[in-house]
Amino acid sequence: MGHNNSKSKARSSVAPVDNTKPKINAVTVPDAPPAVVNTTPVPNWINESQFVEILTQNVPQFSEIRSFSAKAAMGAGENYATLMLRVKIEAELIDKTIKPISFMMKVPHDSAQMQEMLQMANFFDVENEVYIDLIPKFEQLYKSKGLNLTLAPRAYKFNDSLKKEPKLKNTVLMYDLGQDGYKNANRVKGLNVAEAEMVLRKLAQYHAASAVYKSVHGPYTESIMYGMFGADVEKAMVALNTMFASTQKVFLDNVKNYNNGYKYHSKLETYFAKMSENFIALGMAKPHEFNVINHGDCWVNNFLFKSDASGNLQDMLFVDFQNPRYAHPCTDLLYFIMTSVDINYKLTYFDYFIKYYHDQLVTHLKMLDYKERVPTLVDLQMETYKYGCWSVMACYMVLPVVLLDPTESATFENFLGDNESAVDFKTKMYTNQRYQHHIELILQWLDNRGLLDFYEPVQVPAVPSIAPADHTKSNEDLDLDWLSCQDFAELIGAQEPQFEKIVGGTSAPATKPGDNYSGTLLKVNIKVQLKDESAKNYDFILKVQKDIEIDPKELEVYGKYVPAFEQLYKEAGQSIRFSPRSYRFSKSIEHNYLLMENLQTMGFEMADRRQGLDLEHTKAVLRKLAQWHAASLKYKELNGPYPSKYNDGKICEDSRRLFKTIYESIEKTLLRVKQNFKGVEEYSHKLEAYCKTHLDSCIEDAKVNELEFNVLNHGDMWINNVMFQHDQGKVKDVYLLDHQVTKYGNPAQDLYFFLMSSPELELKVEQFDYLIRYYHDNLIENVQLLKYTGFVPSLSELHIILFKHPIYAAGTVIGPLSLCLTEPNEELGIDLLMKDSPTRDAVYDQLYNNAVYKKHFELMMPWLNRRGLLDVQV
């Protein structure tokens, strides 16, 4: 780790840069930190005769060595893992002139701990592999495209000298970059924005070359693909436990003394308990992700900068490749930002730094003709959460070393040891006031991003929790005066050639209390005897509407449009199902009903509406929604306009009276309880006007403008109207349910209603733009698949549509979201929400004082307000 006051010849590193950040005044490279003399003696087995072969091979006209000296090159505390020597030689050439030459030589510490580590993993071998075998090849990739750049100093290999001194095998010999004006930055101060950009640009160049080289030449050696410990997981676990345990206890003992440190102690304790396991799981390259050779120790002392006479940055090179690994680039990115950037920029510029790196990565991958998938910026931003353990590790284990003043106690043994001297050294690290200031800011930032909550790298990802319904009633017959088991005989006989007779059946509630507000859903099981006298069960879902007719639109959507849309995809070569199959009895039935196949028998499940959908499940719904919208476009193109009844949705003139009562109650309740919401003063004055005009705004917004982009909206797109099928924990398919308020119009209704109601809270605001993009990508993919020739908005145009039609953004938050997040309640229904009574007021108060709802409201409403979506348009 580190290479103080040392560097190599600059080969110009010029590449196009997209500066989209706020302008920063140029700052010169700061002076190196004050050094404490390193008193470690130079190993006595190093001598000048060993360098004759190096000079003979690399110095033209070399004759002999006239003088030789080797001294410690770095002060105490600047390098822990190895001893860095500066070897100065005066070489006499054949013409008798003297040429001064300087090398940097890395050698192992002469300690039992170092020897034990080398037996476990010889990082000298892998570092020489990177310097000598890989870096020149990466640089050649750029040279072939007309860009001359240098990534690291040139390294040299001992051959003949090894026969006399085997210890030379465990060394790394490099060109001394200090001869060319390269030097370290001030590690205590950290890098300014310009310096950080230079590191990120060079890191992107290095990563891009490593990805391209592998795509052309195949996998790297095992030491690169799996890291210094190879593929031996047990060996890696032992090493990581040893390394982490030496610092975690002392850190936890001190974290309570930091400002608000008590809030993080238990989280960190839990996190540390599984940290080694997490590192190993996440450290493995995932085939479906973008992977590179990570530097592996990407902190400020492993960067060497060169500036001109005026202090303007010219170049930067990497040193110290002792821990490279083929894996996701976030490991380098997070490690670098958390350890090496000035605290004034580390957190506030974090997203900018990720974008800057991504811009450079894409630029150089394109330059090198990379043929595989390139990660998007959003992909990369999201992966910073998944790989957050590198942020945690860097800030608690490496950053205290970076910020510690030079001291003779900064040794390899004290860093990894657990004796009294080692504990004293670590205590000095964690009680350092400079570090305490940094870590107090960083811990809050990490916690706000959820990075102190353990990321579980399980083989089978968790799916939304499914609470079994309480089926307290089960009947030997259907217990319906208008329907019997025998009524299913004709329907089942048409499906089952071996059908003999119906032998019985039962019915039970299909949903939990509070999960369905507009009708009754029954799970019907019909027991059948086949011709060979064997038994078979058939399961259905029966929807029975309360006192009103099943909406004819719902029957038509299930019976006509769902099969038609599925047929469009079948003709395009894709097998897509949107919803369960629906059936009608041949006999005349007076009651209003909708009979469907029971998706639970196919492994479909509903998610927990109060927990919300994680990213995978949210994307799965948006993908299916985009497929539905795309099919609706193609169907209209082939068959003409939809019937006029589809111009009306849930809120229309016919339902004005119903929703007027509901929104008047919402208005009264919000005005009564609004002071209970944190931060409400920012938008409190807008709530009353918004509620008063909301119903009229919904009806006005529902008017179809044929000059705009329109689709057949589901119309009630929330978590309880989708079911998921999984395969080994992964989402296999999604079906849409409840098509009773299907509406033709702009897609903002479905998008806002779903995204504001159904994902996990952390996704709704932070990932909103990404989720809109994901929907749009899938929409484009599917309209192209279906060969739709009409207008489809660009992504930016879709965002404009969302701004022009915002009524279901805040409207969903102040209305349906309260129902989505409420506790199960058997009494809660449309009748209770409309009934004018003290009981109704108490129910509304309960809905809007719900702690889970308050969390959503307090995060989402300021975001909506700052986007102008609470402003009433007059």
Residue spans of the domains in the chain: they are 48-448, 473-539, 604-866
Nearest Cα neighbor of 228 from 130, 137, 133, 154 is 130
34-48, 178-192, 775-789, range with the lowest pLDDT? 34-48
Percent of the chain past pLDDT 90, that is, above it, reads: 50
Tell me which fold the domain 604-866 belongs to: Aminoglycoside 3'-phosphotransferase; Chain: A, domain 2 (3.90.1200)
How wide is the angle at C-alpha 478 spanned by C-alphas 473 and 479, nearest 5°? 75
337 band by pLDDT with thresholds 50, 70 and 90: very high
How many other CB atoms are there within 10 angstroms of residue 19's CB atom?
10
- CA dihedral sign, ordered 757, 761, 765, 771: negative
Q: Is a pLDDT exceeding 80 seen at residue 18?
A: no
Q: Taking every pair of C-alpha atoms in the chain, what is the biggest distance, in angstroms?
A: 115
How many other CB atoms are there within 10 angstroms of residue 313's CB atom?
18
pLDDT of 830: 59
Q: Which two tokens stand for residue 150?
A: 């240098």
Span 737-774, pLDDT tens digits: 999 899 999 999 999 999 999 999 999 988 888 898 89
- Distance (Å, whole) CA 420 – CA 125: 33
470 band by pLDDT with thresholds 50, 70 and 90: very low
Q: How many Å separate Cα 657 from the centre of its chain?
A: 44
Span 697-740, pLDDT tens digits: 888 998 999 999 999 999 999 999 999 999 988 999 999 999 98
Find the mean pLDDT for residues 303-330. 95
Angstrom distances, CA of residue 458 to CA of 74, 282, 579, 615, 830: 43, 10, 31, 16, 42
Q: Do residues 872 and 807 lie in contact, with contact meaning Cβ atoms separated by under 8 Å?
A: no
Q: Which helix (H) or strand (E) holds 292?
A: strand 292-294
Q: Do residues 757 and 719 lie in contact, with contact meaning Cβ atoms separated by under 8 Å?
A: yes
Q: Do residues 248 and 389 lie in contact, with contact meaning Cβ atoms separated by under 8 Å?
A: no
Q: Which two tokens stand for residue 308?
A: 């001109």
Q: Do residues 153 and 128 lie in contact, with contact meaning Cβ atoms separated by under 8 Å?
A: no
117-121, 403-407, 589-593, range with the lowest pLDDT? 117-121
The more confident residue out of 27 and 800 is: 800
pLDDT of 9: 35
Q: What is the pTM of this model?
A: 0.55
pLDDT of 452: 84
Angstrom distances, CA of residue 516 to CA of 238, 513, 545, 755: 52, 7, 11, 19
- CA torsion, points 626, 628, 632, 633, in degrees to nearest 10? 20
How many other CB atoms are there within 10 angstroms of residue 850's CB atom?
17
How wide is the angle at C-alpha 584 spanned by C-alphas 579 and 590, nearest 5°? 125
How many other CB atoms are there within 10 angstroms of residue 416's CB atom?
20
pLDDT of 474: 38
pLDDT of 64: 95
Q: Is a pLDDT exceeding 50 seen at residue 550?
A: yes
pLDDT of 835: 63
* Tokens 């580190």 belong to residue: 2
Category of 582 on φ-ψ map: left (φ > 0), alpha (ψ -120 to 50) or beta:
beta
Q: Is a pLDDT exceeding 90 seen at residue 376?
A: no
Q: Is a pLDDT exceeding 60 seen at residue 8?
A: no
Q: Do residues 403 and 188 lie in contact, with contact meaning Cβ atoms separated by under 8 Å?
A: yes
pLDDT of 462: 35
Q: Which two tokens stand for residue 182?
A: 């390269």
Category of 8 on φ-ψ map: left (φ > 0), alpha (ψ -120 to 50) or beta:
beta
Q: Which residues of 191-203 are buried (b: 16+ CB within 10 A; e: fewer)?
A: bbbebbbbbbbbb
Q: State in Å, rounded, how far the first CA of the chain is from the last one.
A: 64
Find the mean pLDDT for residues 615-628. 97
4-13, 329-338, 363-372, 511-520, range with the lowest pLDDT? 4-13
Q: Identity (one letter) of the amino acid at 600?
A: Q
Angstrom distances, CA of residue 43 to CA of 70, 106, 165, 168, 510: 9, 11, 12, 11, 78
Q: Is a pLDDT exceeding 80 seen at residue 853?
A: yes
pLDDT of 864: 86
Q: What is the DSSP letter of 179?
A: G
Q: Which helix (H) or strand (E) holds 819?
A: helix 816-820
33-42, 592-601, 675-684, range with the lowest pLDDT? 33-42
The more confident residue out of 504 and 437 is: 437
Q: What is the DSSP letter of 20?
A: -
Please state the length of the chain: 874
Nearest Cα neighbor of 595 from 716, 490, 463 is 490
Please list, in sequence order, all residues whose beta carbon lies within 8 angstroms of the beta carbon of residue 273, skipping any fewer than 6 positions away. none
Q: Which residues of 674-698 are buried (b: 16+ CB within 10 A; e: fewer)?
A: beebeebeebeebbeebbebbbebb
- Distance (Å, whole) CA 292 – CA 289: 10
Q: Is a pLDDT exceeding 90 seen at residue 839?
A: no
Q: Do residues 10 and 180 lie in contact, with contact meaning Cβ atoms separated by under 8 Å?
A: yes
Q: What is the DSSP letter of 788?
A: -
pLDDT of 469: 36
- CA dihedral sign, ordered 846, 848, 853, 858: negative
- Distance (Å, whole) CA 43 – CA 867: 65
Find the mean pLDDT for residues 61-81. 81
Q: Is a pLDDT exceeding 70 seen at residue 21?
A: no
pLDDT of 32: 42
How wide is the angle at C-alpha 368 spanned by C-alphas 364 and 373, nearest 5°? 80
pLDDT of 5: 37
Please list, in sequence order, all residues whose beta carbon lies within 8 angstroms of the beta carbon of residue 831, skipping any fewer than 6 positions away. none
The DSSP result for 722-740, as a single string, is EEEEEETTEEEEEEE---T
Q: Which two tokens stand for residue 61?
A: 């006209």
Beta strands 604-605; 722-727: pairing state: antiparallel
- Distance (Å, whole) CA 195 – CA 55: 34
- Distance (Å, whole) CA 110 – CA 130: 24
- Distance (Å, whole) CA 779 – CA 777: 5
Nearest Cα neighbor of 749 from 789, 718, 782, 707 is 718
Q: Do residues 174 and 156 lie in contact, with contact meaning Cβ atoms separated by under 8 Å?
A: yes
Find the mean pLDDT for residues 408-413. 78
Provide the edge-to-edge strand list for the sheet that holds 730-736: 604-605, 722-727, 730-736
Q: Which two tokens stand for residue 352?
A: 């900018």
SS (H, E, C) 4-24: CCCCCCCCCCCCCCCCCCCCC
- Indicate the average pLDDT of the chain: 85
Find the mean pLDDT for residues 262-266. 89
pLDDT of 725: 95
pLDDT of 230: 67
The more confident residue out of 407 and 725 is: 725
- Distance (Å, whole) CA 445 – CA 388: 12
pLDDT of 831: 59
506 band by pLDDT with thresholds 50, 70 and 90: confident
pLDDT of 152: 97
- Distance (Å, whole) CA 672 – CA 98: 89
Q: Which two tokens stand for residue 797?
A: 């145009």
Category of 469 on φ-ψ map: left (φ > 0), alpha (ψ -120 to 50) or beta:
beta
Angstrom distances, CA of residue 384 to CA of 329, 379, 462, 605: 10, 9, 20, 30
Nearest Cα neighbor of 327 from 292, 358, 302 is 292
Burial status of residue 242 (CB atoms within 10 A of its CB: 0-12, 13-18, 19 or more): middle
Q: Residue 871 half-sphere exposure, CB side, CA atoms within 13 Å?
A: 9
Percent of the chain past pLDDT 70, that is, above it, reads: 86
Find the mean pLDDT for residues 440-446. 90
Nearest Cα neighbor of 210 from 265, 153, 142 is 142
Nearest Cα neighbor of 445 from 344, 353, 348, 331 is 348
Q: What is the DSSP letter of 510?
A: -
Q: Is a pLDDT exceeding 70 seen at residue 121?
A: no
Q: Which residues of 121-139 are buried (b: 16+ CB within 10 A; e: fewer)?
A: bbbbbbbbbbbeebbeebb
